[in-house]
Each structure stands twice: as C-alpha cells, then as structure tokens.
Amino acid sequence: MDTQQKLEYLADASRYDLACACGTKSKDTHRVRGKDGAWLYPMSTPRGGRDIIFKTLLSNVCVNDCRYCPFRDGRDVPRYSLAAEEIATALMSYVRRGLVFGLFLSSGVIRDADHTMGKLVEVAEVLRGRHQFHGFIHLKIIPGSSDAAIEAALRVSSQVSLNVEAPHQAAFKQLSPTKDFERDIVGGIRRIAQLTAPGAKYSRVKPFTQFVVGAADETDTHLVKATFGLYRRMGMSRVYYSAYQRGLGDERLPGERRELANPNDVLTREHRLYQAEWLMRKYGFSDEEIPFETDGNLSLATDPKTAWASRNPHYFPVDVNRASKWELLRVPGVGPITAQRIIEMRHAGTPIASLRDWSLLFPRIKGANPFVKFGFRPQRNTG
C-alpha cells in the first residue's frame, strides 16, 4: 500500500485508543475525516481551549494478546506500518494549512515495548528536528517500556499516556494474559508520575491514562477508587474511560458473554463514570462520597451528584447567600461557573433574595430548587 492508503487504514484504527477528548461512536459528529483519509479530532488544549489534532497509529502490528483489542496478536487482519517521515510529512501538510495544532501517536507493539517506543520517539524527533515543529505532540507509552524509553518519550512530548486498562490485577488478567499488571502498567505509571511531578525534570509534560470499561468483571467502585488514587497519588492530568462494545474482542472476555437488557447501558455506564470523575476532579468530592448501588456500580437511572444529594438530606437546603463555593458545588445542577457567579453577586452586594429571583437568574437549573434557601441577606454597602 502507498502512504495514503496506509494512513487511511491506521488513522481509522486509532479510534480504539482514546486518552484524549474524542468520541468513540461511528456516528460521532466531533471527529472529521480529512480528504486524504486521516482522522482529525477535537481536544482540550493545554491553555484550556479547544483545537484539532491529527491522530493515527504508527503500526497495527502487535505481539500482545489484549483480548479486547481488534488488532491483538493472532487475529487475521491486514497489518501495516508507517515510517517516521511518512507521518511527519502528513502532519506538516495539515499544520501548514492551519487545520491541526498537533499529533496524537499510538501504536501496536512491534517486537517489544522499547523497540516500539524507539519508533514513536523517532517520529517526534523528526518533527522537532527536521521539520522544526514546536507544537503539540502526544505519545503513547507502551506497557513494559524501560525507564530510559519513558524518559526519551517525555523529552519530545507535550503529553503522554499509558493506558491502565483495568483497576486491579484480577480484572487486568482477564484482559491481557501476556502483560504483567504491576510491572508493565503500575511500574510505568509510577515512573511517569515521578518524572512529571511538580518541580521534576519533565513537569511540563501532562500524563494521561484510560480504562477499558465492561470488558472484564470490574465494578464502578473499583474504577472510581482507582481513578481517585491515580489523581491523588500518581498526579494524572486526566483519566478517561472507554466503554467496551461487544464484537471487538475475544469470546473468552466476560464482556462478550455478559447479557445486557439494554445494549446502550454500556455507554450510560461510561457517562456515569465521567460524571463521578468530574465530581472528584472539579467539585472536591472524595471517592468515599461517590454513591454506589448494592452491586457496587453507579446508578444508571440517576447521576451521581443527585444520588449523593438524595442520600444526604441533612446537608440541604444550602443558603446560597452564605455558602462557600465548595458547598454550592454540592447542589444538584450547580457547576463551577454558576457557583462563581453567585459568589460574585454576593461580593457586589446583590444577593439572591428569593426562589423567584433564583429561577430568573438560573432558569436552566430548576432541579436545584429543592436544595437551596435564601435566609441570609448581607446589607448593601451604601457608605
């Protein structure tokens, strides 16, 4: 195949590896396919905005038998690889036209982890050196990579990701019999955390990771607690979840054998996990505060913040004219922007006097009405 044909195939194959703000469904309207077959994805920029990245696999050749992966070893699928200059030339053609701001590059495991990391780093070095590209580069860290290979990737990257895949060893074994959870995953994430910690040599590089949800027998409790640990102890910038959808993996996977009353439940579960992750990362919740059902999973019917509120009636109603930002963020429907606006109004001497005023100011969050009160009204400074 020529470069364009390989790029079309490998760029399409990269959709199975998220670890960035990308959609997973074939009908997703956020990703756009370029005229040459490459997939362009929206993602959050380091400065907090949104921009487009060029995303592809370097190769779909793989020696690992990850049972959830459609390109696992032993499957009879076409195998292709791109050379460093082929990827660099394709990216720079998009950059020069102002269509993308960077690259997300992943790969199957060619021969072994360090050999593959050498290929990935080579792409970044060609871009940084030969093409003088100083923009965004996200490199995937291959499980089992040596400390030297990890550091080489950090040296040329803006972001890196090593997919944790599962929240504990037993679930991981169901996914991948050819990798060692403690050595290949936990050890690599720990090393990345050390090298990217505040004040460390590569503190400018942001580390990411991703769970495969529903392929193994993990519960949401396991996932949420592991996520909290990755944020608190490993310094992850973001944790992502990818709902496993039947038909991609090995028939031995629990997720292939599990019968679902509603096939859309897998995507609802993914959504609930993101809501719980947001509560921990943005709203100040701990993993112990996230409410689970008796089976250890999040409710599919109710979002976790509303579920927490229903289980903690003693916390409400919250006085919006007195509560701190973190207290306001416990109110269903109130997010960081709304909470900040309430506080600014209070500082300006214009408190919210009644439920009627509240409804006029925030008409989209009527669900918060039962959880708020307006009993404290500071006097306007007339002085």
Instruction: List, in sequence order, every beta strand (DSSP E) within 287-365.
Output: 318-319
Tally of CB atoms within 10 A around 55: 26
pLDDT band at 263 (very low <50, low <70, confident <90, very high): confident
Residue 28 has pLDDT above 70, yes or no: no
Does this model's pTM top 0.85? yes
Q: Which residues contact 292 (CB under 8 A, 6 or more apart)?
A: 219, 220, 221, 224, 298
CA of residue 258 relative to chain centroid, distance? 25
pLDDT at 22 over 90: no
pLDDT at 40: 66
Q: Which amino acid, residue 270?
A: E
Percent with pLDDT over 90 in the chain: 64
Question: Residue 46: is its pLDDT beyond 70?
Answer: no
Give the H or E element holding residue 32.
strand 32-33
The DSSP call for residue 379 is P
Is the pLDDT score of 381 beyond 80? Answer: no
What pairing do the DSSP bridges indicate for beta strands 39-44 and 32-33? Answer: antiparallel
Calculate ∠ Cα 233-238-239, nearest 5°: 80
Distance CA 205, CA 63 (A): 28
Give the pLDDT confidence of 79-120 residue by residue, as tens digits.
999 999 999 999 999 999 888 889 999 999 999 999 999 999
- Please report, for residues 13, 24, 189, the alpha-carbon distance to residue 41 in angstroms, rounded to integers and kept in the order given: 14, 11, 25
d(CA 327, CA 323): 6
Is the pLDDT confidence value at 383 over 80? no
Q: Which long-range contacts (CB under 8 A, 24 or more apart) does 202-206 make?
A: 202/151, 202/154, 202/155, 204/158, 205/154, 205/157, 205/158, 205/159, 205/160, 206/46, 206/158, 206/159, 206/160, 206/237, 206/238
Residue with tokens 């100040």: 284
Residue 330 CA, chain-centre distance (Å), reads 23
Token digits of residue 16: 């199975």
Confidence of residue 43 (pLDDT cuts 50, 70, 90): low
d(CA 316, CA 309): 8
Per-residue model confidence as pLDDT tens digits over 186-232? 999 999 999 999 999 999 999 999 999 999 999 999 999 999 999 99
Pairwise CA distance, residues 223 & 229, whole Å = 10
Q: What is the average pLDDT score of the chain?
A: 88
CB 332 within 8 A of CB 368: yes
Report the distance separating Cα 150 and Cα 172, nearest Å.
22
Question: What is the band of 75 on the pLDDT scale with cuts at 50, 70, 90?
Answer: confident
Pairing of strands 372-373, 318-319: parallel
Considering only residues 348 and 50, tell me which one the structure prediction assigns the higher pLDDT: 348
